[in-house]
């Protein structure tokens, strides 16, 4: 993990690559393996499926998105709940996992002295969901291979230091 004292794209990528697998393993009991990732991802990103989002505000401002395919979201929700999952259950699980990943990122930023608050999670469903943040100086993205599923989890983070 990066040891910089100022948040950077690389620190954000290192942080999500540490905590996404930890959250998925702890909560769902399956392995999530990070791919190479992009610490300088394009500002415009297209996400599909069941997408959770949470805002960061304070010394760091931005958005964190977690995009699960419909199939992957259902698998994860059913494993976490131990049985069948309704559409609302799936949305609730995606919101909670997004909250846990973002909470760990917030904790790391606070440890560096960059205090910020989180918004309430929201969940969107659909194909070709376009997300961007024109004021973000950092745009980070990675996909995570999920044990037992050919689909991947995508995490996209847009962030900027408070001016």
- Mean pLDDT value across residues 48-72: 96
CA–CA separation, 105 and 142 (whole Å): 14
pLDDT, tens digit (0-9, with 9 covering 90-100), for 81-91:
999 999 999 99
Mean pLDDT for the stretch of residues 22-31: 96
Residue 149 lies in a domain: yes
Spatial separation of the C-alpha atoms in residues 162 and 59, rounded to whole Å: 5
| 1 belongs to a structural domain | no
Q: In this structure, is residue 78 part of a structural domain? A: yes
Q: Among 15-19, 45-49, 129-133, which is the least confidently predicted range?
A: 129-133
Q: How many CB atoms lie within 10 A of CB 77?
A: 26
Is the pLDDT score of 61 beyond 80?
A: yes
Asked if the structure places residue 27 within a domain, the reply is yes
Residue 3 lies in a domain: no
Residue 145 has pLDDT above 80, yes or no: yes
Cα torsion at 111, 157, 70, 79 (round to 10°)? -10
- Which residues form the domain of 69? 9-161
CA 88 to chain centre: 19
Distance CA 132, CA 47 (A): 11
Using the predicted structure, report yes or no on whether residue 1 has a pLDDT greater than 60.
Answer: no
Domain count for the chain, please give it. 1
| Residue 54, domain member (yes or no) | yes
Residue 153 lies in a domain: yes
pLDDT band at 75 (very low <50, low <70, confident <90, very high): very high
Instruction: Provide the CATH number for the domain around residue 26.
Output: 3.40.1550.10
Instruction: Confirm whether 77 is domain-assigned.
Output: yes
What sign has the CA pseudo-torsion 72, 40, 138, 16?
positive
């Amino acid at each position: 993990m990066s040891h910089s004292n100022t948040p950077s794209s690389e620190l954000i990528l290192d942080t999500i690559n540490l905590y996404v697998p930890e959250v998925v393993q702890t909560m769902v009991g399956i392995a999530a393996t990070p791919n190479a990732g992009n610490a300088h991802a394009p500002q415009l990103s297209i996400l599909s499926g069941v997408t959770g989002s949470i805002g960061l505000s304070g010394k760091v401002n931005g958005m964190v998105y977690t995009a699960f395919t419909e199939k992957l979201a259902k698998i994860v929700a059913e494993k976490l709940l131990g049985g069948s999952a309704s559409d609302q259950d799936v949305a609730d699980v995606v919101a909670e996992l997004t909250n846990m990943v973002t909470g760990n990122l917030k904790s790391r930023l606070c440890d560096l002295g960059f205090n910020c608050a989180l918004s309430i999670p929201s969940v969107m469903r659909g194909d070709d969901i376009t997300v961007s943040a024109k004021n973000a100086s950092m745009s980070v993205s990675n996909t995570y291979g999920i044990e037992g599923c050919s689909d991947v989890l995508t995490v996209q983070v847009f962030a900027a230091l408070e001016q």
